[in-house]
Structure 1
Amino acid sequence: MSGVLTADAVIVGAGVLGAAAAHHLARAGHRVVILERGAPGREGSGTTAGNLHIQAVHSQRPGQEVPLDNARFLPLQRAASERWETLEEELGASVELRRSGGFTVAETPGQHAELVEKHAWETGAGIPTEVLDGDAARAALPQLGPTVIAATWCALDGYANPLKVTPAYLSSAARSGARTHPYSPVRRIDRHREGWRVTAGRDGGLVVDTPVVVDTAGPWLGRVAAMAGAALRMSPVAIQMHSTVRLPPILPHLVQHIGEGLSVKQVAAGNLLIGGGWPARTLDLEGRSLPSLASLHGNVRLAARVLPFLADLRLLRMWAGPLAATPDEMPLIGEVPGLPGFLVAGGTYAFTFAPLWGETLRCLAESKPPPVDIADLGPGRLMDHADHQADHQADHQEERNTQC
């Protein structure tokens, strides 16, 4: 077939995970082609809050049926934190990274007990946190309201600008030879010889042969995997964010809630961003998801209770963005059992994990052990006959004995 390109890896999805994977693979000398259905970084990666969640987070966002496993997350959060620390130097670009520290607050005795429990987990994972009573928390952050009875402080929490992180990763990858094809939706993924043939583009005119396909398509991850023959049980959702008008510096730290969906921070431009995983009115994977007025009221009311000064501010806008959630609310990363060279990555808190998952995907593409334990996070658990698939994956992993 004439006009067929070749690459060492094809990445499907130019959001933050795909961009991070491209950066790591291209910098290691691999020929990388990135395929994106629209504009790079404009879907979930461009609508996220951009928080760096290093201390344990609330286990359930509003409307979420299954709580995430906070204790399992913490080793991953610590590993991701270490990589964020050097990211701007690594990329040669500013991404407005701010390690401003964060408070996670409690308003009830039960929530206070959760803070104490998570502090023990964090200590065990090597993440430094401190439990404060309400008065001590208000002494450290006077903006906190009287309903706050306790808080944990973590100096490692922070944020980065998602509209700068993904482009910085892609620019770094391009400097190492990676080629990005925007507005090139994938049409087919077929087994071809010992690898894969990926057909993309509006007219299907872009064809690439490769031994490795990396599916980082966000909420479309399951659709892309299905083209390769993998039926993954995904649970994509849409969540929303709210932004106030710009203000002079007033909130120096990230504020979260241990029992309810809330995150508040002031970004470099001066806006206060209010989120916490509240659901949008609709999830629309063909167009734009619509925000919910009920979630707007609930999220802003909660924010003003925890930080009373917010009640006097004018909202500038709100928006919704898609999220590639899994049924068990855990991250998804690994090779699909039975499909050699087909890798997937997505799921919960992908922005925080992006530097770690980018490195992990490079290791998997090179058949080397990943930098952290991901044995329980692979796609086999989301497929039929999960037990058999997990055994296959574990056997395959044991064969990888080259240190990454």
Structure 2
Amino acid sequence: MRAADVVIVGAGVLGAAAAWQLSRAGHRVVIFDRGAPGREGSGTTAGNLHVQAVHTRRPGQEVPIDSARFLPLQRAASDRWESVEDDLGASVELRRSGGFTIAETPDQCQELKEKHTWEAAAGIPTEVLDGDAAREALPLLGPTVTAATWCASDGYANPLKVTPAYLAAAAGHGAELVPYAPVREIARRGGTWRVTAGTHTVAAPVVIDVAGPWLGEIAALAGIRLRMTPVAIQMHATVRAPVTMSHLVQHIGEGLSVKQVTAGNLLIGGGWPARALNLAGRSVTSVDSLLGNVALAVRVLPFIRDLRLLRAWAGPLAATPDEMPLIGEVPGEPGFLVAGGTYAFTFAPLWGETLRGLAEGAPPPVEIADLGPDRLMTQTKTHEGRQR
């Protein structure tokens, strides 16, 4: 057994961002991952940087997100994305080319106006356009679009570059990454946690559980029961095309996000569900979701109908029952921190900084009291009599 200051479980984008923040502050960090770093939820996401309010429901999602609560977090995360490439000394294909959130019905238009008010209160500049003005700004939009909001800060980054860049920068400060090492035991003795993964056992006063859809399973190893509701959503990519669309396009009332990435492919997403979540292997894509998602994209952006679909894939998402982010220390379990939930990619720089502050006992940079794990706990663990 060896010692560290912090053990991080999960080498996705949140674990990587936290590892960089902690290691550059001088902490000894060990990161365990069950497989290849950044290849699960963090590697299958669309990579969108959502700054203006997003659609409140994924297709099939029962509980809407609280957009007004999300927006201050989105603003804080957006500020931190500005320096990510300089901080890491690497390109992550960060593009802040702006985005349109569109509406097609009177109710959706009203929702755009309401979210515009919330965005102004959060300090996020947006502009409401009618359908003709939206098509003048982006002629690619179809005739069904009746209104849109424009946000210059929306954008995207390449998720297959962001996580490796964070991990490489963390390694430069001494962080140790141990891939293909599923965690199989977590126990506490006094003020120290012991984490066993593969053939490794590391003792540390702080454990950070950022295992994505496996977050609840990892917490359960420490006897902590959290009501997580992980799901699998899917993405679709067209063949490469000449540069046609530089902006991110989203739908306020239906699950849709479309952008053209650096390689030329159009990525179509929006949270449509895969056939079923499979945390033991690979989740299988849904043909119904493929047809629905692509048909919606073609309706809003008719030029897409001329592009061949290249591939579709499913990825796991660490959702919560209330569809809100999860971050904080587990009550009664000093030093056991958790972070996850929807839009984790957008929040990654902010949550990395927040986790460092929590590990150091410093005030968080944003208000997170209502986002803690206490709201999801189903029982309290006692370690008495179980120590070895």
Q: Say whether 1:134 aligns with 2:128.
A: no
**Residue matched to 2:48:** 51
> 1:240–1:319: 8 Å Cα contact kept in structure 2?
yes
- Report the 3-state secondary structure (helix = DSSP H, G, I; strand = E; otherwise coil) of the residue aligned with 1:384: strand
Runs of 4+ that moved beyond 6 A: none
- Report the 3-state secondary structure (helix = DSSP H, G, I; strand = E; otherwise coil) of the residue aligned with 1:251: coil
Q: Say whether 1:162 aligns with 2:159.
A: yes
**Residue matched to 1:251:** 245
Structural mapping, 1:4-403, within 5 Å: 4-201=1-198, 205-384=199-378
Q: Which amino acid aligns with 1:219?
A: P
> 1:279–1:295: 8 Å Cα contact kept in structure 2?
yes
Q: Deviations over 1:156-194 (max 9, x none)?
A: 000000000000000000000000000000010001231
Q: 2 CA distance for matches of 1:147 and 1:295?
A: 21
**1:5 Cα deviation (Å)?**
1.3
**Residue matched to 2:385:** none
Q: Deviations over 1:194-228 (max 9, x none)?
A: 11000111xxx200000000000000000000111
- Report the 3-state secondary structure (helix = DSSP H, G, I; strand = E; otherwise coil) of the residue aligned with 2:271: coil
> 1:143–1:307: 8 Å Cα contact kept in structure 2?
yes
Q: 1 CA distance for matches of 2:223 and 2:363?
A: 25
> 2:225–2:379: 8 Å Cα contact kept in structure 1?
no
- Report the 3-state secondary structure (helix = DSSP H, G, I; strand = E; otherwise coil) of the residue aligned with 2:232: strand
Q: 2 CA distance for matches of 1:302 and 1:69?
A: 24
Q: Which amino acid aligns with 1:333?
A: I
- Report the 3-state secondary structure (helix = DSSP H, G, I; strand = E; otherwise coil) of the residue aligned with 2:195: strand
> 2:68–2:118: 8 Å Cα contact kept in structure 1?
yes
Quote the RMSD (CA, aligned, Å).
0.7
> 2:233–2:273: 8 Å Cα contact kept in structure 1?
yes
> 2:224–2:379: 8 Å Cα contact kept in structure 1?
no
Q: 2 CA distance for matches of 1:194 and 1:147?
A: 60
**Residue matched to 1:402:** none
**1:104 Cα deviation (Å)?**
0.2
> 2:229–2:321: 8 Å Cα contact kept in structure 1?
yes
Paired positions, count: 380
> 2:71–2:119: 8 Å Cα contact kept in structure 1?
yes
Q: 1 CA distance for matches of 2:237 and 2:293?
A: 12
User: What TM-score, normalized by structure 2, do the two folds share?
Assistant: 0.97
Q: Which amino acid aligns with 1:137?
A: A
Q: 1 CA distance for matches of 2:74 and 2:234?
A: 23
Q: 2 CA distance for matches of 1:95 and 1:41?
A: 14
**1:384 Cα deviation (Å)?**
2.9
Q: Which amino acid aligns with 1:353?
A: F
Q: Deviations over 1:334-365 (max 9, x none)?
A: 00011000000000100000000000000000
Q: Which amino acid aligns with 2:375?
A: R
Moved more, 260-269 or 187-196: 187-196
Structure 2: gaps of 5 or more residues:
381-388
Q: 1 CA distance for matches of 2:379 and 2:278?
A: 30
- Report the 3-state secondary structure (helix = DSSP H, G, I; strand = E; otherwise coil) of the residue aligned with 1:247: coil
Q: Which amino acid aligns with 1:57?
A: V
**Residue matched to 1:400:** none
Q: 2 CA distance for matches of 1:5 and 1:348?
A: 34
Q: Which amino acid aligns with 1:50?
A: G
Q: Which amino acid aligns with 2:368?
A: I
Q: What percent identity do the matched residue pairs reach?
A: 77
> 1:192–1:209: 8 Å Cα contact kept in structure 2?
no
User: What TM-score, normalized by structure 1, do the two folds share?
Assistant: 0.93
Q: 2 CA distance for matches of 1:279 and 1:384?
A: 27
> 1:199–1:206: 8 Å Cα contact kept in structure 2?
yes
Q: 2 CA distance for matches of 1:323 and 1:208?
A: 28
Q: 1 CA distance for matches of 2:79 and 2:379?
A: 36
**1:385 Cα deviation (Å)?**
7.0
Q: Deviations over 1:353-380 (max 9, x none)?
A: 0000000000000011100000000000
Q: 1 CA distance for matches of 2:223 and 2:331?
A: 11
Structure 1: gaps of 5 or more residues:
387-404
Q: 1 CA distance for matches of 2:71 and 2:98?
A: 16
Q: Which amino acid aligns with 1:141?
A: L
